[in-house]
Structure 1
Amino acid sequence: MLATLKFSKSSMRVQDFKLSDAGTHPNKAPFKCALFATDVPSDGPPGGAGGKKIRISSGVCDKNLHTFVGMALNIDYVNGMTDHDPRFKVAVIEKAYRSMDGNAWVEGYIYAKDFPDVVATIRYYNGLAAEHNWSEYQFGASLEMEAAVQDAEDGVLEVLEFCGTGAAILFAEAAAYKTTSFAAKNNKPKEVDVAMTPEQIKAMQDSMEALSKGMATITASVQTVVSEVGAIKTDLESVKAAKVDTEKKTTEETIAAELKAAQEKTAAVEKELADLKASKSNTPNEPVRKTLSASQLLSKHGGTSAEDATDIHTFCAAVDRLNLPPGDSLKLKMQARAELGAKENV
């Protein structure tokens, strides 16, 4: 049966994770290691395989191994470098190939300037493993991939194709593949010299104790950083919420102030209108202005009396004799014409 599995936390064959000092770039520490052996089942079931071992043939390896190029390597400080932490990437794969002995190899570099602690940790533990043949402290690499698999007759999942998504730097003890000649796990431990002095034994015990304390300190430091990041995130969310509340409150206060100002202005206008009405009602009636007739105006200017101006022609002749300004003369004639015409119509 064909199925697609994601080996996001699978531990595959681990080979010695070797660092080189040959790099000339200050931020590149070259490495070389084997990811897995081809044509043989894994010694244990990788994560995501449903409890079954897997096998990758040479043909499938040659066809798909290039997908690891450009992918990153991560390291898991929190769990004592025995698992994967895809979010903590410290290296990149530049080259992937299968050797004549059937192992899939990758080469690349660790960002040495950015992660000096990672480089120092790998070199320290690899040194202990090489000096004392302590295989449990040998570093290797464990791949991560998405794969299409099919059940084989021997109960092993046969990988039909895969896509490499990365790898993890971890202790060799965490590997599923342990049977190749390169696996540190299979190296026979050297016999302990029974002639060791008590001082030497005590020094070795102290070294192991210091090593354990160092690992605990690293784990605690990482957990502290995680807690601090969480606290910072909480503080940022609180500041953002407070800012939103302040902006909302400021907007509401501005609207309330504008509404109050409008209400006060309306009240002032209404009061002014009321005062005007009250003032008008309390003012005594003004005397009616008396309007002079045309004959009276003519007499005022020194002309014929009102009784002699009985028709419009006589009135106009009287006005002409006064030699008044054209405007005044025209005004008198027009008013006389209006008054005499009204009398004739009665």
Structure 2
Amino acid sequence: MALSRLTLRDFRNHGMLEIRPQAQFIALHGSNGAGKTNILEAISLLVPGRGLRRAAMSDMVRDAGDGGFAIVAEVAGNVIGTGVTAEQPERRKVRVNESDAAINSLGEWLSVIWLTPTMDRLFADGAAARRRFLDRLVLALNPGHARHSSRYEKAMQQRNRLLSGAMPADPLWLDALEAQMAENGSAIQVARIWVVQALSEQLLATPSGPFAMPRINLVDKVPAVDGDLASVWRKGRSRDAAAGRTLTGPHRADLEVVHSASGQVAEQCSTGEQKALLLSLILAHAALVSAQRDAPPILLLDEIAAHLDPSRRTALFALLEVTGAQVWMTGTEPELFHGIGPSAELLAIGQS
């Protein structure tokens, strides 16, 4: 699942940029504002979702461009692309091998996982951020997860609108929406449970190393009513109508992470320990994807080397090399990547 070519047109600050990677590690270096993270963001849009910044599509269009942008990549001889047009700057389009395709189908072609400086607050922020992180891990292993998630969200939004309307909602319409939510919500739950269990086993099988090892658990918060999610929502209509939202369901789940050695929950750990826990999760997940999909994912690591001492940087590079994943990294100085060795390709960004 490595990219053999990446082309950006009018994306963020890049008018036209083409990269043809020749190594496992692609180390992008340059001054702040050069556009290094923009390249990682472009790659993150080659899978379902809103990308690593979760920005509006129109915000990604280059100011001096024609009002649209395009991201095109070659993967194992196939060409996949996404972007927007000037006429519809918020409507993202996808093409695979010159044919229109659904956004959710991108997960069938690539698995991409990222770690950015903003994710340093993952454990301190609310459950929504951790849930999105978990769903990215699930999507990398189960491409159908994106389809179930979007259908669940759409049905839930329609239910919320009906319950909050001035007129009493049609019970039959609510029944249909809740049945659709239950079908897709159950698939979401099953996929999350499987990934958390498989990742837990992978973490247990991982030898101790320089980074803190986590224990993970899915906190579902969905009460069991004869095993029927639709019954949960049917019984809770009055409460949800008063609240103006659906109060129970897979959209309220949380990922609990605990430092194995100390027993502390991640949000109570130091900033350095939290970063180490995230790195351990990413490395274990890469190994799991390699085993399950017969190909490692693409890893996007933004400014990761700058916050590690030289010995830990060297250890991280060695662990990443073992995964076999194509790794895109950013940093201000090329010296940050010298510990990688011959498997690194250093690319200066923002320099003519």
TM-score bracket, normalised by the shorter chain, equals: under 0.3
Q: TM-score, normalised by structure 2?
A: 0.22
Which protein has the larger Cα radius of gyration, Structure 1 or Structure 2?
A: 1
Tell me: higher relative CO, structure 1 or 2? Use CA pairs within 8 A at least 6 residues apart.
2
